Amino acid sequence: MSLDLSNFPQPEVIETLDYNKIYAEEVEDFKARWEIVREKYPELPPYNVEMLETDPASILLGVDAYRDLMLRGRINSAAKANLVAFATGSDLDHLAAFYGVVRMTGETDDSFRDRLLIEIKGRSTGGSSYWYAAAARRADVRIKSVVVYRERVLPVIHIAVLSSENGGIPDQAMLDAVKAIVTSDQVRLVNDTIIVEAAVSSPTDIEADIWLLPNTTSAVIEALPGNLREAWANESGVGFDLEPSWVEARLHVPGVKRVRVITPADTVVADSGVAIALGEIKLNFKGYDY
């Protein structure tokens, strides 16, 4: 629903910091200034001892370069604090306040940032999908994502809710809270019929054969189901298809020689307003291989 800020280029205002580069610039500047002094006092020797650790000028230049590095780092931090993609904590709170958005109790920076972007895009009162999604996200801090879609030409609006808990299945309290907000006079357009529903479909089981590299312990396989569920929870959402190649990639961790995904054999397609949940995960240890 919201913008993927990770695909944006690095802001030009944020400088890439390099102590050695700053120090080299300090030395070159000092040498240039030293030569100006030598023109007036030719008896002074040229400065060419910057590599000596005991050289007082070199020590001072190193200290100055480090202070410059810290200052530039602070400037970078100040710039990031004014960008939604990088702001955290109270900095993010102040950015959101400009748009009239307030963090909910217990809401993490990532969740708050995602909701803020939806709130910004949904500021029009014209009843766009973002308008309804933003309102729905305000209902419960446990909501992971919301998808809004309409039944063809009818003014029947479906709001599919995905929870960050319980495998994505929202409880009744969450659904009731969403319905109360989106059907309120402040949100619902007069001619819209609102249907609030859970986004999670029936679970999809996963089975795969696993071969390990020699000297790899069985603890690697034991950790894979939990890692797979965590990755799916972090990377998926409403409308995300489940690809066998995605399963194979997440199971192919260090220590694993080969993975053969048995189920799903083909792409599991998520329809509009549907989120795919992972069911039983069965991993068959097939032995060791080179």
pLDDT at 3 over 70: no
Which of 80-84, 111-115, 214-218, 234-238 is predicted least confidently? 234-238
Tokens 């702001």 belong to 87
Of 95, 100, 91, the C-alpha closest to 123 is: 100
DSSP-derived secondary structure for the chain: ----GGGSPPPTTSPPP-HHHHHHHHHHHHHHHHHHHHHH-TTSPP---TT-TT-HHHHHHHHHHHHHHHHHHHHHHHHHTTSTTT--HHHHHHHHHHTT--PPTT--HHHHHHHHHHHHHT-STT--HHHHHHHHHTS-TTEEEEEEEE-TTSSEEEEEEEESSGGGPPPHHHHHHHHHHHTSTTTS-TT-EEEEEE-B-S-EEEEEEEEE-TT--THHHHHHHHHHHHHHHHH--TT--B-HHHHHHHH--TTEEEEEEEES-S-B---TT-B--EEEEEEEEEEE--
Average pLDDT, the chain: 90
**Percent of the chain at pLDDT above 90?**
69
Of 223, 234, 231, 102, the C-alpha closest to 162 is: 234
Other C-beta atoms lying within 10 Å of the C-beta of residue 202: 8
Q: Where are the domains of the chain?
A: 5-80, 89-198, 204-288
- The residues with which 261 forms a beta bridge, in sequence order, are 208
Name which residue leads in pLDDT, 86 or 7. 86
Q: What is the largest CA-CA distance in the chain?
A: 92
pLDDT at 2 over 60: no
Q: Is the dihedral of CA 112, 116, 117, 119 positive or negative?
A: positive
Q: Give 1's pLDDT tier (boundaries 50, 70, 90).
A: very low
pLDDT at 15 over 80: yes
Provide the angle, in degrees to the nearest 10, between the axes of the packed helices 129-137 and 109-121.
Answer: 150
**Residue 42, CA distances (Å) to 32, 39, 45 in order:** 14, 6, 8
Q: Give 33's pLDDT tier (boundaries 50, 70, 90).
A: very high
- pTM exceeding the 0.85 threshold for the entire prediction: no
Q: Are 84 and 115 in contact (CB under 8 A)?
A: no
- Contacts with 157 (C-beta within 8 Å, 6 or more apart), sequence order: 132, 148, 149, 150, 192, 193, 194, 195
pLDDT at 226 over 90: yes
